[in-house]
Amino acid sequence: MRCNPRILNSIDAEGFKLVRAGIEISDDKDEKWLQKLLFNHPDILPTSEFDDSFEKLIPIGREVHTDCGNIDNLYISVQGKLVLVETKLWKNSEKHRTVVAQIIDYAKEVSRWNYEDLNNAIINASRQNFSDTVNSLDQIIQPLVDSIGLSLNAFQENLIKNLQKGEFLLLIIGDKISPNLALLTESIKGTPGLDFKFGLIEIQLYKYSESDDWPLLVIPDIVGRTVEKTRGVIKVQYLNEKPKIDIEIEDDETGSLKNKMDADIFLENLPIDLKSVYTKWLEIWHQNNLIITWGYDGFSLRSPSHFGNKQKYIFAELNRGVTLIKKADSENLQVSNEHYKKYSDTISKVSSASDILRLNKTYVSHSKLTAEDLDKIFEATTTFAIDIENQTF
């Protein structure tokens, strides 16, 4: 439940309450009005909250055509990363069912473009919108790259690389966000198949008075987000109003899966305080000749002498967290009780991890761990693995 904000001139003054400016059925504001607002004021979008590489946006096109429809707003960051925006109003709720599938389809199409394709799409969109001035992408970007001391060639190379990798930020923005959209975001979060960032943003509008449309206070609120790095195609279907997702992983020309996770991608998308812990232990594991195998959302850690064994000492995933070694796992490895006790004693110092073991579960979420907690888990697990390798038990 939201309460209207109040403007105060001093600690003693009564001040006045701002009025929520809803976009109702009878309102003359429509999605094009919201598109124009966001296009003319790109700083409204809190894109740096998703990743610093998406900050300092330059609007480059409205109603940009793709083979599966028009992208409402298209922006580019100083690092050559695209931001695709689809606007939806609450009063047009019948469109909410397809909006997530729609913006993912746009991303799929754009990831097939080269620099020239993007440039042509921007020029054509400008002409279709009857703009007084039609500029190429180079002309739009040149003042920006000059201001930060970056060459146009370097910018173009960054953009081409990001197009090929599909590293976009996809945003669905509305005056209110449908619960179905929030549910669908959570569903996507737990699946492989995405190599772009995805967010839901609710734009809250407040007027200073009932009678005047301006000035207007605009507050962006991130209500949903997800990060996935494995490339694929997501088909979104609906059954009795509840979202359902099917994933098809695309193969490259050699038949191998694209964009497997690696250390750089993994570290880039961790909470910043946990990044240094992972960096430290990845180096330690390498120095101790432990086996790190990268998958599609994380990695596994194994001892060399047990490489053929399906047992993993650690499995770390961006979205699920870190695995712990259960008592049954140590028994499968024929580890002595004393050896496992040394491990569990250390884990018991991490309350969230201790609770997971007590419930006989496996994963402890990154959101429940501090850097110190994670360091203790890795220390205990690494000692466990090295002792097995050295057969000291």
Residue type, 366: H
Residue type, 42: P
Whether 288 and 301 have beta carbons less than 8 Å apart is answered as: no
The whole-chain average pLDDT of the chain stands at: 77
Residue type, 26: S
pLDDT attached to residue 22: 60
Backbone angles phi and psi of 387, in degrees to 5: -60, -40
- Going by pLDDT thresholds of 50, 70 and 90, the confidence category of residue 90 is low
Predicted TM-score (pTM) above 0.75: no
Whether 233 and 193 have beta carbons less than 8 Å apart is answered as: yes
Helix (H) or strand (E) holding 69: strand 69-76
* Domain residue ranges of the chain, discontinuous segments joined by +: 6-248, 263-390
Q: Is the pLDDT of residue 319 over 70?
A: yes
In tens, the pLDDT along 17-30 reads 777 666 543 455 67
Q: Which carries the bigger pLDDT value, residue 155 or residue 99?
A: 155
Residue type, 309: N
pLDDT attached to residue 195: 65
- Going by pLDDT thresholds of 50, 70 and 90, the confidence category of residue 40 is very high
Q: Mean per-residue pLDDT for 174-192?
A: 58
pLDDT attached to residue 229: 44
Helix (H) or strand (E) holding 125: helix 115-128
pLDDT attached to residue 282: 92
- Going by pLDDT thresholds of 50, 70 and 90, the confidence category of residue 86 is very high
